[in-house]
Amino acid sequence: MAIFTLALHGGAGTILKEDMTPELEATYLRSLEEALEAGYKILASGGGAAAAVKETSIQLENNILFNAGRGSVFTKKGVHEMDAAIMDGATQRAGAIAAVRNVRNPVALAAEVMYHSDHVLLSGEGANEFAIKCGMKLEPDEYFFSQFRYNQWKRMRDSDNYELDHSTGTTERLMKDKKFGTVGAVACDMQGNIAAATSTGGMTNKKYGRIGDTPIIGAGTYANNKTCAISATGHGEPFMLGVAAYDVSCLMEYKGMSLQEAMDVVVNDRLTKLNGEGGMIGVDANGNCAMIFNSAGMYRAMRNSVGKIETAIYR
């Protein structure tokens, strides 16, 4: 029986302890621990990696603190457009959705695409039609409303600026004060199968139907039993340009690097050369885990079957 492992993230960026109240910090840590526990229970009871990452991501989508599902940010038009993906490393099957609206749990819809369609990526109205066909839980716009996200959007809706998740400063401070709102999970189950899932609400005030790296297989999400399962969080464009998640897999497969080594090269060398800020979590089929980021912080947690548990926010 393989060491089984689960890791998750809730976004990365300029996350500084001095900007966090003790109460909010405790709430974030508790939220990460609760999501970790939900997914880990599946692994501990013999469940598969894909089921574990899906459930972990659903828990994070249901939490208004995170920019995914219920906590998603507002677009230029004042609505919520969500992206998600899931990939099974054992079968090399994947499902992804982009720019969907009113779907309570986008990662669950991505799983439906993987299991019950002949496609990998569905977008917009078509993805919503598929959600209705599958009987997915839909919610009114009010479900996704949070005053915090609304105030953030209202501050910039009359401009052409956008923000990466919940920057607390003015637009001029954006390059200093960035937070990338994505949630995700990776897992290795008792059978040594691995999987990854990622979900996001994207950028505040985004327009033109912008889609980031989250639903792009190989960029923000990837899993292959031969190498690794990766879920990324960061400024999506550099992650797409660098095919970041798949790049980790390639370094492991073709250069013989360990998970930790490959992720370190991608996050701290290749992405930085593309001005890519953020991070990623990963596991391999031996249950090894790494959580690496080049930003000031990343909401993250992991647990494995040999007793290692970690929950953290800052560098």
- Each residue's pLDDT tens digit, 49-77: 999 999 999 999 999 999 999 999 988 88
> What pLDDT digit, counting tens, does each position of 30-48 carry?
999 999 999 999 999 999 9
118 to 122, 136, 253: CA distances (angstroms): 11, 18, 28
pLDDT of residue 243: 98
pLDDT of residue 162: 59
Catalytic-labelled residue, pool 56, 75, 182, 221: 182
Report the alpha-carbon distance of residue 213 to residue 136 in Å, rounded: 24
Q: Is pLDDT above 90 for 238? A: yes
Q: Is pLDDT above 60 for 112? A: yes
Q: Which pLDDT band holds residue 175 (cuts at 50, 70, 90)?
A: very low
> What pLDDT digit, counting tens, does each position of 277-295 carry?
999 999 999 999 999 999 9
Max mean pLDDT range (7-21, 89-103, 167-181): 89-103
What tokens were used for 315? 């560098």
Q: At what angle do helices 22-44 and 49-61 cross, to 10 degrees?
A: 150
User: Mean pLDDT, to the nearest integer, of 225-253?
Assistant: 97
- How many Cα atoms within 13 Å fall on the side-chain side of residue 4? 20
CATH of the domain at 174: 3.60.20.30
pLDDT of residue 262: 98
Give the distance between the most distant pair of CA atoms in the chain: 56
182 catalytic per annotation = yes
Max mean pLDDT range (13-17, 73-77, 118-122): 118-122
Q: Which pLDDT band holds residue 111 (cuts at 50, 70, 90)?
A: very high
pLDDT of residue 154: 74
- Number of folded domains that form the chain: 1
Report the alpha-carbon distance of residue 172 to residue 160 in Å, rounded: 13
- Burial (CB count <10 Å: 0-12, 13-18, 19+), residue 194: buried
In one-letter notation, the amino acid at residue 78 is G
> What pLDDT digit, counting tens, does each position of 177-229 carry?
456 679 999 999 999 999 999 999 988 778 888 999 999 999 999 999 999 99
pLDDT of residue 77: 86
pLDDT of residue 166: 38
Which range has the worst mean pLDDT, 84-88, 148-152, 182-186? Answer: 148-152
Q: Is pLDDT above 90 for 13? A: no
Q: Is pLDDT above 70 for 172? A: no
Q: Are strands 121-123 and 179-180 parallel, antiparallel or unpaired?
A: unpaired
Q: Is pLDDT above 90 for 241? A: yes
Report the alpha-carbon distance of residue 162 to residue 141 in Å, rounded: 21
> What is the domain range of residue 36?
5-314
DSSP H helices, 215-258, are 236-241, 244-255
Q: Is pLDDT above 60 for 237? A: yes
Expressed in angstroms, the distance from the first to the final Cα of the chain is 33
User: Positive or negative CA dihedral for 165, 170, 171, 174?
Assistant: negative
Percent of the chain with pLDDT over 90: 79
Q: Which pLDDT band holds residue 163 (cuts at 50, 70, 90)?
A: low
pLDDT of residue 230: 99
* Mean pLDDT value across the chain: 92
Report the alpha-carbon distance of residue 5 to residue 173 in Å, rounded: 38
User: Mean pLDDT, to the nearest integer, of 148-165?
Assistant: 70
